[in-house]
Homo-oligomer: A and B are copies of this chain.
Amino acid sequence: MLTDRQLLILQVIVDDFIRSAQPVGSRSLSKKEEISFSSATIRNEMADLEELGYIEKTHTSSGRVPSEKGYRYYVDHLLSPQALNKQDISIIQSIFAERIFEFEKIIQKSAKILSELTNYTSIVLGPAASFNKLKRIQIIPLNKESAVAIFVTDSGHVENRTFYLPPSVDASDLEKTVNILNERLTGVALEDLNDKIYKEVAMLLRQHIRNYDLMMHTIADSLKMPVNEKLFFGGKTNMLSQPEFHDISKIRDLLQMIDHEEWIYPLIKNDSAGINVKIGRENNNSAMENCSLITATYSVGAESLGTIAILGPTRMEYSRVISLLQFLSNDLTSVLTKLYQKY
């Protein structure tokens, strides 16, 4: 495999390029403290590294730039885990300074602060509400034709759906229905509601309500709409300041992708727990060619709840970003766990 000296050179090249965004030449490398051999030697080593695919030239006589493979190796083996400085830590902790009612607020603030600390774009996937347990259902008729159903979970999350009332249903039917639903469904996870309604509640409704099936379908239907995890962004325009995005068409592709939430989900979801780094084309997305995405999950107990992510150029400060995400996701997890534990 690679010799120690090659590793050293690779590391310094990546570090330098991350800092300067300029191709790194042998002469400037040889002047670095860490490096004690001549530029000619470095040139030889660099030729080898290039042949192995870790670095590239932008043109025949240019300095070297890390390739995706180079970044990959750097992230996997050469990253010097960098301690966060105290200021960063206190800024992150300020997220939790206020008394907290709603995750959304925390999540939103997290996204904002992450993007400000890094100058990259942050993406935060809000906590999945789907396994929250139902606390209470209310149905409030608006007029003869429609009513709004309100679902409150044990975590204080509120979902509501407006639906048309079947013509035959009257107020007392509604009341009975609500009672039955509350009796049977309290404590059930949102994602299981639909199932449970058909399996357990249908029978009961049949006994008490005329036209129970219409009613039931209506309610069950209104629950089918996914309780989608919300996405929050911070620093959407930060990428505009990155030198690799001087090209308008690249910017456009990227911003277009950011503005389509449905395209973001597949990027940041279904990663394994913990920190994940996807570099350039590893994201399987043409708009992300020059971008890396670092994700971290946060959780309650063992259950992974959501994701925080940083989107930056491949030339990203991996070490710092990873530390930040690590730290924030830990904090999120512990705060949320404390919060959930109450219920």
Residues of chain A at the chain B interface (Cβ within 8 Å): 99, 101-102, 135-136, 138, 140, 142-143, 145-146, 148, 150, 152, 154-156, 158, 160, 162-164, 236-237, 240-241, 246, 248, 251-252, 255-256, 259, 342-343
The answer to whether A140 touches B135 (Cβ under 8 A) is yes
The answer to whether A252 touches B240 (Cβ under 8 A) is yes
The answer to whether A138 touches B135 (Cβ under 8 A) is no
List the 6 shortest-distance A-B pairs measured between CB atoms, nearest first: A101-B162, A158-B160, A240-B252, A156-B162, A237-B255, A136-B140
Given the known inter-chain contacts A237-B256, A255-B255, please indicate yes or no for A142 contacting B162, CB distance below 8 A: no
| Chain copies in the assembled complex | 2
The answer to whether A236 touches B248 (Cβ under 8 A) is no
The answer to whether B146 touches A156 (Cβ under 8 A) is yes
A-B contact pairs, 5 of them (CB 8 A): A142-B156, A143-B343, A148-B152, A156-B162, A248-B248
How close is A227's CB to chain B, nearest CB, in angstroms? 15
A152 contacts across to B, CB distance below 8 A: 140, 142, 148, 150
How close is A58's CB to chain B, nearest CB, in angstroms? 21
Assembly CA distance A163 to B101 (angstroms): 7
Name A240's contact: one of B143, B145, B251 (CB within 8 Å).
B251
Name A162's contact: one of B102, B160, B255 (CB within 8 Å).
B102
Assembly CA distance A240 to B160 (angstroms): 37
Name A246's contact: one of B135, B236, B248 (CB within 8 Å).
B248
A237 contacts across to B, CB distance below 8 A: 252, 255-256, 259
A342 contacts across to B, CB distance below 8 A: 143, 145
Q: A142-B343, A150-B150 are in contact. List 10 more A-B contacts (CB 8 A).
A: A101-B163, A135-B140, A140-B152, A142-B152, A142-B156, A148-B156, A156-B162, A240-B251, A251-B251, A255-B255
Name A259's contact: one of B156, B236, B246, B343 (CB within 8 Å).
B236
